[in-house]
Amino acid sequence: DADVTQTPRNRITKTGKRIMLECSQTKGHDRMYWYRQDPGLGLRLIYYSFDVKDINKGEISDGYSVSRQAQAKFSLSLESAIPNQTALYFCATSDINSGNTIYFGEGSWLTVV
């Protein structure tokens, strides 16, 4: 089983709908992240959390919200999806002892029509 698990792996949703992407990890890491990948733009950070009570905006947080339900769970929500949020989304984790290495989930393809 993957150490960082994302659900769903693929989702098509309509404009204006609310969608949640969920992430759970078994690595025991404190730090969790949500990234967005678009062709030619690399990865851009949406939100990050260094522990359960800590939530921080990344460079592209507008239109997104997150919840850190437990050390192992970090969900990303699009309250009202729009087509330019069509992208590949990655959850990731790291730990102060991992030397800043980031461990990624397999990604969630989201298409907003």
Partner 1 sequence: GDSVTQMEGPVTLSEEAFLTINCTYTATGYPSLFWYVQYPGEGLQLLLKATKADDKGSNKGFEATYRKETTSFHLEKGSVQVSDSAVYFCALSTNTGGFKTIFGAGTRLFVKA
Q: Which residues bind partner 1 (CB under 8 A)?
A: 4, 31, 40-43, 45, 50, 90, 92, 99-107
Helix, strand, coil percentages, rounded to 5, for the chain? 5, 55, 40
Give min distance, CB of 44 to partner 1, in A.
8
CB of 77 to partner 1, least distance (A): 20
> Residue 23 forms beta bridges with which residues?
6
Q: Which CB atom, from 55 or from 102, has the smaller least distance to partner 1?
A: 102
Q: 46: which 2 tokens?
A: 């949406």
Spatial CA neighbour of 58 closest among 33, 77, 79: 33
State the minimum distance, in angstroms, from the CB of residue 40 to partner 1.
6
For partner 1, the closer of residues 17 and 57 by Cβ is 57
Residue 79 beta carbon to partner 1: minimum distance, rounded to whole angstroms: 25
Cβ partners under 8 Å of residue 86, min gap 6: 110, 111, 112
16 or 66: CB nearest partner 1? 66
